[in-house]
Amino acid sequence: MYIRTVVVTGATKGIGLATIRFLLEEYKVRVAALSRSRTPEIDELEKKHEDSLLVAKCDVADEQSLAAAIASVIDKWGTIDALVLNAGAIEPIARITDTNVPLAAWRSALDVNVLSLVVALRAAVPALKNSVGGGRVIFVSSGAATKGTPGWGAYNAGKAAMNSICRTFAEEEPSIVSVALRPGVVDTDMQRVIRETGAVGMTEKGHQQFVQQHAEGKLVKPEQPGHVIAGLALSAPKELSGQFVSWDADDLKAFREE
């Protein structure tokens, strides 16, 4: 029996962790979790799924580290059937013209949000093209890709670039289904960072919207888009390739958890 293999970046908490749980426990596939840090939650999953979960310490901003981690997955299991590009960085939260924020902070954000995508695709594409069921790449994007939220210049630019890479990759590698997904405003560490530090670079109104959403319990749970991402990683239809879609779109109803 052929068991599929999925690589997930930014995998030890939030959306990445939720996605991994569904992949392991609902879909019964093998998963490689790539992340800079470990968490008690990922340690628990590793003990429970020792034969089907590989946890690899990896800084996606480090080209050699990321390429080596993906190569180790291929060496261990011989294949990669899907790639979930979930790692992302919101910082620096600052105005474009804020000279107190060094340009190096922007470069660091773009290394994580943009250039790591190129590294991961280059490392995984031979295996994805040879996938028995057809390779898939899910880019975990954001509504920021189409907006100009003040203070989020680096993040906005990074997610817009992600969507562009998704569209281009879909054209260049038509045998691989590539989808950019907007997961909504999700209750993750990124939202905590926005609430705690975003007041400086954002408008007061914009910052308070996120504070209020959290206070009123209106944030999306990681499991909601996580279930959609897991399903798309294994069976995203060809007609979605190159598109930017929201996790709660009508077209994705079949992938949402009932």
Distances (CA, A) of 123 to 7, 16, 83, 119, 138: 12, 20, 11, 6, 15
Which amino acid makes up residue 153? G
Contact call for residues 255 and 231 (beta carbons, < 8 A): yes
What is the spatial distance between Cα 72 and Cα 74, in angstroms, rounded to a whole number? 5
Q: Based on the number of CB atoms within 10 Å of its own CB, is 16 exposed (0-12), middle (13-18) or buried (19 or more)? A: buried
Residues with a known catalytic role: 141, 155, 159
**DSSP of 83-143:** EEE--------B-TT-TTS-HHHHHHHHIIIIIHHHHHHHHHHHHHHT-TT--EEEEE--G
Which amino acid makes up residue 11? A
